[in-house]
């Protein structure tokens, strides 16, 4: 029997011009793969009630989350964090942060300020943001000290509620190695996570088209580069393939 896995970072069609998958598609595939826990982490809260009800009906444990963007802690730019509610109070804080972010909505994305996250962080798990987080971005640019500084700042402010996300995207093997070194040095908690934007392998082009529309970029087939082509709902064995050199760290 295949080992079970929880997917804690689903982007659905409610992530405007980002997520491809419909809630029912994710739930149907999760059932086939024996996945018993899913977290919705759209950039807004519009889909959470539908997600919660359909998960419950299908016997899957629903976790409510939110992806937020903030200015970088040490770097220029905007970076994501993944927030997961522990309970009803955490859910209320997610709703508050989502409302704040949409009051500043622009064409590209909605943002919050770091001090607002601090104010409404009660009963939330704070995850480092995966492929769109400042830590992964820093490591991708070979700036380990800066990335570690971000991790230490988040750990200082959120303590045991902060987790480093180790992304499962295939092309990030070097980044994963650096992340596990950082985890060893700092003792910060971590989770293995896959940034999921579509249910099935082979649908990366659809997500790329949506993100290009959102960014206002032209879609030219002969110059189309897909940075990540495996952001789909994976089984345990498929996740394991991304961690062949780190099997002792897997779940």
Terminus-to-terminus CA distance in the chain, angstroms? 16
> How far apart (Å, rounded) are the C-alpha atoms in residues 251 and 248?
8
Q: Is 195 exposed, middle or buried (0-12, 13-18, 19+ CB in 10 A)?
A: buried
Q: Which is the CATH superfamily of the domain at 6-249?
A: Metal-dependent hydrolases (3.20.20.140)
pLDDT in tens, 85-135: 999 999 999 999 999 998 876 555 679 999 999 999 999 999 999 999 999
Q: Pick the closest to residue 182 from 158, 170, 167, 166 (CA basis).
A: 166
CB 63 within 8 A of CB 84: yes
Judged against a pLDDT cut of 90, whether residue 138 lies above it is answered with: yes
Enumerate residues 6+ apart whose C-beta is below 8 A from 145. Answer: none
Between 169 and 154, residue with greater pLDDT: 154
Reported pTM? 0.88
> How far apart (Å, rounded) are the C-alpha atoms in residues 10 and 232?
9
User: Which pLDDT score is estimated for 55?
Assistant: 97
CB 237 within 8 A of CB 2: yes
pLDDT in tens, 208-221: 555 555 555 555 54
> How far apart (Å, rounded) are the C-alpha atoms in residues 34 and 61?
12
Judged against a pLDDT cut of 80, whether residue 244 lies above it is answered with: no
């Amino acid at each position: 029997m295949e080992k079970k896995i929880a997917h804690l970072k689903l982007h659905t069609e409610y992530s405007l011009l980002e997520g491809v998958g419909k809630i029912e598609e994710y739930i149907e595939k999760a059932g086939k793969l024996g996945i018993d826990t899913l977290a919705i982490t759209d950039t807004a809260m519009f889909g959470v009630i539908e997600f919660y009800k359909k998960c419950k009906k299908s016997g899957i444990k629903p976790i409510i989350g939110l992806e937020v963007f903030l200015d970088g802690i040490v770097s220029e730019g905007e970076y994501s964090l993944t927030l997961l509610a522990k309970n009803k109070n955490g859910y209320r804080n997610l709703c508050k942060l989502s409302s704040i972010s949409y009051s500043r909505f622009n064409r590209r994305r909605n943002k919050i300020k770091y001090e607002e996250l601090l104010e409404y962080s009660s009963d939330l798990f704070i995850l480092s943001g995966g492929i769109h987080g400042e830590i992964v971005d820093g490591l991708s640019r070979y700036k380990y000290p800066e990335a570690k500084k971000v991790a230490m700042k988040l750990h200082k402010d959120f303590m045991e509620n902060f987790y480093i996300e180790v992304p499962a995207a295939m092309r990030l093997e070097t980044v994963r190695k650096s992340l596990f070194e950082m985890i060893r040095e700092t003792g910060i908690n971590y989770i293995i996570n896959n940034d999921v934007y579509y249910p099935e392998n082979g649908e990366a082009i659809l997500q790329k088209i949506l993100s290009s529309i959102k960014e206002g970029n032209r879609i030219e087939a002969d110059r189309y580069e897909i940075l990540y082509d495996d952001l789909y709902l994976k089984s345990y064995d498929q996740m394991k393939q991304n961690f062949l050199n780190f099997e002792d760290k897997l779940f």
